[in-house]
Structure 1
Amino acid sequence: MLTFAAAVFFLIATPGPGVLSTAGVGSAFGAGPGTRYVAGLFLGTNIVALAVISGLAAVVLADPRIRTVLFVASTCYLLYLAFRIATAGSRIAFIEARREPGLRDGLALQAINPKAYAVNTALFSGFAFLPGAPLAEVAIKLLIVNAIWLPLHFLWLGAGIWLGRLDLGAGTQRAINIGMAASMLAVVGLAMSTLA
């Protein structure tokens, strides 16, 4: 169970579309809209988890054409985000939001967020710790995931609010951008490794 909790922490803490956009919303709009956005992400990630657990995601993705189209689209999206972040120059390049996002926006992002599907598939198909009681294991896993997911996303929200208020030097901002881009590329690598 501790191995599972550690995997949850590292898989959720690494930057992906959800946490990067959470930080961006915090930086651009503050705590109120950020909290509503995180609530949408939270509902969305739990819907994705239930789709993975129930097998619905597997049924939809069983058609190789649908799987290929979604994989190519999500990979291109993640590469685009990594490029935007890496080439943002000397300003912090969280994903820009042009209007105040809310619950619906967070929910919609998780529906197309490839990291959400990859993470939930890895967590709920592996790390068995109650092989004799699969329903209890799934319930405990959901509790652990959510107990780690919520504070991590609020930390990212707070980081976005905090970084938005700082006057960092160009070199520091560039280093942050490159680190975020490298994290996005790692997500792309993880997605590609699932095809092998």
Structure 2
Amino acid sequence: MITFALAVFFLIITPGPGVLSVAGVGSAFGFNHGARYIGGLFVGTNLVAIAVVSGMATVILANENIRAILLIASTLYLLYLAYRIAFAGARIAFKEAPSAPGFWAGVTLQLVNPKAYAVNTTLITGFAFLPSSLIAETLLKFLIMNLIWVPIHFVWLYAGMTVHRLNLAPHIQRRVNIAMAISMLLVVGLALAAPK
């Protein structure tokens, strides 16, 4: 169970579209908007986990056309996000967005987020620690994943809010933007390189 918890921690804390966008929302719009966005991401990631557990994700993703549409949608969205971050100039992340991404934006992002499917599939299908009861193990996995998922996303929100409050020099803020954009592009690269 400890190995599973460590895997959850390291798979979720690494930069992906969810946590990077949380930091961006936090830096541009503050805590309340960021918390609503996290609520959407939370619902979305649990919907993805339920789809993985129920086998629905396998059935849907077995259809080559649907898989291609999801891959294209997620890739385009992640490229757009990377572009917005990289070219935000001296501002951090979503500074010029007219309104904050809300609850439904968070849900939608997770539903097309390749990292959400990869992480949930890895965690749910691997790391068996209660072979005598698959149901109890699955319920414990959901509990552990969510107990780790929530604080990690609030740490990223706080990080984004902190970066905004620091009022960094423009050249440092540009470097932060570029680092976030490169992280997003790495996620896109991993999505495109993953076995289809």
**TM-score normalised per structure 2:** 0.87
Letter paired with 1:181 = A
What is the aligned partner in structure 1 of residue 144 from structure 2? Answer: 144
Runs of 4+ off more than 4 Å:
none
Letter paired with 2:106 = G
Given the alignment of the two structures, is residue 73 of structure 1 paired with residue 96 of structure 2, yes or no?
Answer: no
What is the aligned partner in structure 2 of residue 178 from structure 1? Answer: 178
Please give the per-residue CA displacement for 1:54-111, whole angstroms capped at 9, x wherever unaligned. 1111111111111122113322332343344344444323586421443233222222
Q: Which piece of structure 1 moves more, 179-188 or 161-170?
A: 179-188
Letter paired with 2:181 = A
User: What is the CA distance between 1:19 and its match in structure 2?
Assistant: 1.5
What is the aligned partner in structure 2 of residue 39 from structure 1? Answer: 39
Q: Which piece of structure 1 moves more, 54-63 or 131-140?
A: 131-140
Distance 1:34 1:11 in 2: 21
Distance 2:125 2:33 in 1: 34
Given the alignment of the two structures, is residue 49 of structure 1 paired with residue 32 of structure 2, yes or no?
Answer: no
Q: Which piece of structure 1 moves more, 112-121 or 85-94?
A: 85-94
Return 5+ residue gaps in structure 1 as ranges.
none
What is the aligned partner in structure 1 of residue 28 from structure 2? Answer: 28
Distance 2:46 2:183 in 1: 23
Distance 1:66 1:158 in 2: 36
Q: How does 1:66-105 map to 2 (within 5 A)?
A: 66-94=66-94, 97-105=97-105
What is the aligned partner in structure 1 of residue 11 from structure 2? Answer: 11
CA contact (8 A) 2:28 2:92 kept: no
Percent identity between matched residues is: 62
CA contact (8 A) 2:17 2:187 kept: no
Q: 1:85 to 1:26 in 2, by over 3 A?
A: closer
Please give the per-residue CA displacement for 1:133-185, whole angstroms capped at 9, x wherever unaligned. 21121111111110111001111111121212222123322332232233223
**TM-score normalised per structure 1:** 0.87
Q: 1:82 to 1:29 in 2, by over 3 A?
A: closer
Distance 1:101 1:183 in 2: 20
What is the aligned partner in structure 1 of residue 110 from structure 2? Answer: 110
Return 5+ residue gaps in structure 2 as ranges.
none
